Amino acid sequence: MSYFLRWHQYVETTNKLTQQEGEKKQDLAIFEEAWSMSQDLSHHLWFLEQEGAAIRPAVTFSPDYKKIFTTEQITMTCDVGSTIGEGVDYIWYKDSEQVYSGKSYTIKSAEISHSGSYQCQTRPGEISDPARLEVIHGYVILQTPLYVYEGDDIYIRCHHYPGHTGRQTRFYKDDRVIRDWSDNAEYYIRDLTKTTAGEYTCTKEVRNTLIYFQYDDNISLSVQDLLSQPKITVINNTKIEGNPMTLSCDTTLSPYRKHIELQFAFYREGQTVQGFSSSNIYEVQSAQLEDSGNYICEAKTSTKKSISKRSSEFYIEIKGHTDNIGYTRQNIIRLTLSACVFITGALFVFHHLKWMKSMEPTRHTATIHLQVPTVSFIRVPPAEDTQPIVDISVDTA
């Protein structure tokens, strides 16, 4: 009975596994259909997200210097691009305290107390990153733009106090002369890179009363990343042979350079699979096993002096259909082999026990009757001067 019960359980398990395999295939077909219907929607959501990211405001200065003299004028603007229409409230903060309401904030005659970190906020909306303004009362200041990014062309200016007369100027970088004395108070730097960063100093002759004196100022120039290192993201996670595969190349462009357009390219194992275009999406309608490999995407600016960055390698493996149902088939095969081994073993044990039973000899029972003779001892009193006599009689009856 145990053998037939196990065989019945085996048949039921096999039927269940076969049914589950069919259900998995049906579920996979439904998933593929649902994915194809939602693919366009995901792309629209991605573009909406990118447009929404531009809502964060950015503070700009005019003139574009983060260091000015007292008595000078500066206008700060809350730049939100074209993503917000009319009727938006703008709030300005200095060192986290509200100081003004309006899109532009103008300081007509700067004082030292105007130095600080300025932020603007749209209501409702996000708040900008802080922009640092320094107001100096002295003879000479070295002025640089508020934001400096790789690829920029900039002027740094050795500026003297209004109302005074300036003459010759000399520029240094890291205590090394980069331009000797001249009448030009500006120094031009093109195609900025990370190596451009450093400590810059200017020395200028400024007349104080009747005599010219030399005054200097310095500033630490840092060059910021124009865009972050790209990262490959798999939008479609199925990665199954015959299914669509969609990759995106994601990077962040500085909000202070959001007018710059980006282009994207994709590579697999060092070979170009999609050349530069404005789309950061790479699509394969029907992925094949040969689409597996290490992928890299590249993002670059569409400006004349292009800045480009590449992502790290991202390995993608496209699996065949047999890989998904292989486990079910392997389980059925294992169960079948186990059943065969069990049946063979059970039959062997059964026949072995039957054979052993047939080889056992017949047993006989014998009864033996033994008659033991009875021995009696009679003690006879001895006579005088005689030895004792013992009479022994044996009853054999």
Q: What CATH number labels 227-323? A: 2.60.40.10
Q: pLDDT tier at 54 (50, 70, 90 boundaries)?
A: very low
Chain-wide mean pLDDT for the chain?
80
Give the mean model confidence (pLDDT) for residues 350-375.
57
What confidence score (pLDDT) does residue 81 get? Answer: 72
pLDDT at 325 over 70: no
The percent helix, strand, coil of the chain (3-state, each to 5) is: 25, 40, 35
Distance CA 143, CA 63 (A): 11
Express each pLDDT in 307-319 by its tens digit.
Answer: 999 999 999 998 8
Instruction: Let me know if 346 is exposed, middle or buried by CB neighbors in 10 A (0-12, 13-18, 19+).
Output: middle
pLDDT at 36 over 90: no
Distance CA 11, CA 396 (A): 80
More confident residue, 162 or 381: 162
What confidence score (pLDDT) does residue 255 get? Answer: 84
Distance CA 149, CA 253 (A): 11
Q: pLDDT tier at 51 (50, 70, 90 boundaries)?
A: very low
Strands 67-69 and 131-136: parallel
Least confident range of 29-33, 83-87, 96-100, 257-261: 29-33
Q: pLDDT tier at 394 (50, 70, 90 boundaries)?
A: very low
What confidence score (pLDDT) does residue 82 get? Answer: 62
More confident residue, 369 or 95: 95
Q: pLDDT tier at 381 (50, 70, 90 boundaries)?
A: low
| Residue 336, C-beta contacts closer than 8 angstroms, at least 6 positions apart | 14
Express each pLDDT in 162-198 by its tens digit.
Answer: 999 999 999 999 999 999 999 999 999 999 999 999 9
Which pair of tokens denotes residue 177? 């002369």
Which pair of tokens denotes residue 92? 């300005």
What confidence score (pLDDT) does residue 384 get? Answer: 53
Distance CA 136, CA 138 (A): 6
Residue 156, phi then psi, degrees to nearest 5: -110, 140
8-state DSSP, 288: -
Express each pLDDT in 113-159 by its tens digit.
Answer: 999 999 999 987 889 999 999 999 999 999 999 999 999 999 999 99
Distance CA 212, CA 13 (A): 101
What confidence score (pLDDT) does residue 13 get? Answer: 55
- Three-state secondary-structure class, residue 339: helix
More confident residue, 53 or 97: 97
Distance CA 316, CA 266 (A): 13
More confident residue, 46 or 221: 221
pLDDT at 322 over 50: yes
Distance CA 237, CA 233 (A): 10
Instruction: Compute CA distances 50 → 86, 124, 244, 282, whole Å.
Output: 21, 19, 23, 17
Distance CA 196, CA 190 (A): 9
Domain range 55-137, CATH architecture:
Sandwich (2.60)
Find, among 98, 101, 142, the residue nearest to 116 by Cα. Answer: 98
Q: pLDDT tier at 30 (50, 70, 90 boundaries)?
A: very low
Distance of CA 44 to the CA centre of its chain: 23
Fold of 147-224: Immunoglobulin-like (2.60.40)
- Three-state secondary-structure class, residue 328: helix
Express each pLDDT in 330-356 by its tens digit.
Answer: 656 666 777 777 787 777 776 667 767
HSE, side-chain direction, 13 A CA sphere, residue 164? 22
What confidence score (pLDDT) does residue 5 get? Answer: 46
Find, among 142, 201, 214, the residue nearest to 175 by Cα. Answer: 201
What confidence score (pLDDT) does residue 55 get? Answer: 67
pLDDT at 328 over 70: no
What confidence score (pLDDT) does residue 1 get? Answer: 44
pLDDT at 374 over 80: no
Express each pLDDT in 236-264 by its tens digit.
Answer: 766 788 889 999 999 999 988 888 999 99
Q: Do domains 55-137 and 147-224 have the same CATH topology?
A: yes
Distance CA 164, CA 209 (A): 9
What confidence score (pLDDT) does residue 199 get? Answer: 97
Find, among 375, 377, 373, the residue nearest to 397 by Cα. Answer: 373
Which pair of tokens denotes residue 270? 């060092």
Angle (CA) 181-184-189 rounded to 5° is 95
Distance CA 79, CA 72 (A): 22
In the chain, domain spans: 55-137, 147-224, 227-323
Which pair of tokens denotes residue 162? 């209004």
Which pair of tokens denotes residue 49? 């997200």
Give the percent of the chain with pLDDT over 90: 54
Question: Do 317 and 16 form a contact (C-beta atoms < 8 A)?
Answer: no
What confidence score (pLDDT) does residue 124 get? Answer: 76
